[in-house]
A = this chain, B = another copy of it.
């Protein structure tokens, strides 16, 4: 039951498991997300991977994040009107969103149940359910 650590090496394996050819840039981007287990925006990811020396372009960051998303290696979180956050956690879960700091905190979906939702409109299927609890530093 030991939690696996995330190294660049097993990033390559992870990418292969998802049918993605592991290039240098893709490994670095995956490692930025999985190594930290945080919710990062594209520009934050770009800053991380180019911290030591610049080696990954903006186009590649976006290409790669969209590729990861298509292969369901990561998911997007839409909470901030000005930027998308990318989430290495693809298991069903929800979020606290700190409106002051723009930080996201995971909420395991297993513990949560939602009741009383109306029927889906005719001919529609559910793609996902997002619960976002917008929070703010409190009152006293």
Residues of A within 8 A of B (CB): 76, 78-81, 84, 96, 98-99, 105, 107, 111-118, 120-121, 123-139
Contacts and interface: CB of A to CB of B under 8 A. Distances in A.
- Tell me the number of copies of this protein: 2
B111 A118 contact: yes
A81 B74 CA distance: 16
A124 B136 contact: yes
A39 to B, nearest CB: 14
A125 B113 contact: no
Given A112-B115, A129-B132, A135-B125, A81 B79 contact: no
Contact of A112 (B84, B114, B120, B138): B114
